[in-house]
């Protein structure tokens, strides 16, 4: 399956278990890999045959910056669900959410959650 990837998108969100995280917020990084057939847009050179990644970015930004979740697992799940609902051409999506500065005294480069969801065929 072909893949369209949006890498290291940066957003400011208010997610976390602790009240101060929901009040102060912080930067989050999101990677998204969308698996879908890209042969037609490759032949036609027509954006209508593909996914406009500026529009996909707007869908992701809406979830990350306008909603609040306690867990980045829930954030990743909602990003995946929103993309699968918005774009019926996506067969599978992988979402990676990186929280670079969790609010505890451990020195590392952050915590990452990665999920993969497939379109359910009924």
Question: How do residues 8-49 score in pLDDT, each as one tens digit?
Answer: 999 999 999 999 999 999 999 999 999 999 999 999 999 999
Q: Is 14 helix (H, G, I), strand (E, B) or coil?
A: coil
CATH T-level topology, domain 3-118: GTP Cyclohydrolase I, domain 2 (3.30.1130)
Compute CA distances 90 → 67, 83, 87, 97, whole Å. 23, 8, 6, 19
Which of the residues 23, 66, 70, 99 is marked catalytic? 99
Q: How far apart are CA 6 and CA 42, in angstroms?
A: 18
Give per-residue pLDDT as tens, 40-77. 999 999 999 999 999 999 999 999 999 999 999 999 99
Phi and psi dihedrals of 29, rounded to 5? Answer: -115, 140
**Residue 61 appears among annotated catalytic residues:** no
Phi-psi region of 70 (alpha: psi -120 to 50; beta: other; left: phi over 0): alpha
């Amino acid at each position: 399956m072909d893949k369209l990837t949006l890498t290291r998108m940066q957003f400011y969100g208010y997610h976390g278990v602790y009240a101060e995280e929901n009040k102060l917020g912080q930067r989050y990084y999101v990677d998204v890999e969308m698996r879908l057939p890209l042969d037609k847009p490759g032949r036609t050179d027509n954006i209508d045959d593909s996914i406009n990644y500026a529009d996909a970015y707007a869908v992701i930004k809406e979830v990350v910056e306008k909603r609040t979740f306690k867990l980045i697992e829930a954030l990743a799940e909602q990003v995946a669900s929103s993309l699968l609902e918005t774009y019926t051409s996506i067969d599978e999506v992988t979402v990676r959410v990186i929280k670079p500065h969790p609010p505890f005294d451990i020195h590392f480069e952050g915590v990452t959650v990665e999920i993969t969801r497939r379109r359910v065929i009924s």
